[in-house]
Amino acid sequence: MSELQGEPRMSRGLFVTGTDTGIGKTVVTAGILRWLRHQGVDAVPMKPVQTGAIKKDGRLISPDLEFCLAASGFKPGAGEMELMLPYAYEPACSPHLAGRLAGRYPEIAEIKSCAEKLLQKHHAIVVEGAGGIMVPLNERQTMLDLMVLLHYPVVVVGRFGLGTINHTLLSIRALRASGLNIVGVVFNRTAPPLAENRFIEEDNPEIIAGLGEVPVLGKLDYIENLNPANPEVWRKFETGMTGFKAVLENI
């Protein structure tokens, strides 16, 4: 790609957030990361805070980060996993509560330091948040505070169904009020669609795009076998994700 020749144009990163937890941020993060690496961009994943981490071989691992690594084929070098996953907790709860129970809260300055170290070795990072933008990381800071500190362009992942207009527009307003650049919104189906709700799901992206003055980057269909090794996952992702160019231009 001509824009990647010479001095790298992509020098920072992208932050993938959601209107809620369980919204499909991981598959969107993995899909974007996979596509960027296939374009020849040395992009790497980062999951600053993982709750509900899994213990394996005596250490806590992030299912979300592992999914992204498997999807992209990237193999971290020595010490890079700790930079990609600075905070991991077993309890599946809010980061502030997990941090309180562990006696070690997530700190946004430490996360930024890890991101900067990754960028010393790689072209860009794709960061996946935890939950929505107002999720507390500790007793005084939220995920939004981290996003402001990193100041990466933001991709918002939302649902198709009833209630998503309010959640998505509130998220957009909070992000803009904090001075963040919103690349666009990806709508993701995390369950099979109901025929009786089709008219709602068809209208929601359009009204959000209009009222929120934001591009729709993709409309992703429900995928039953959500396995990073399943080629059908990425075929469907790349069919539904029409905003790759906007991602590349903003990262």
Residues known to be catalytic:
47
In contact, 180 and 154? CB cutoff 8 Å: yes
> 3-state SS string over the chain?
CHHHCCCCCCCCEEEEEECCCCCCHHHHHHHHHHHHHHCCCCEEEECCEEECCEEECCEEECHHHHHHHHHHCCCCCCCHHHHHCCEEECCCCCHHHHHHHHCCCCCHHHHHHHHHHHHHHCCEEEEEEEEECCCECCCCCEHHHHHHHHCCCEEEEECCCCCHHHHHHHHHHHHHHCCCCEEEEEEECCCCCCHHHHHHHHHHHHHHHHHHCCCEEEEECCCCCCCCCCHHHHHHHHHHECCHHHHHHHC
One-letter identity of residue 49: V
49 closest CA partner among 128, 104, 117: 128
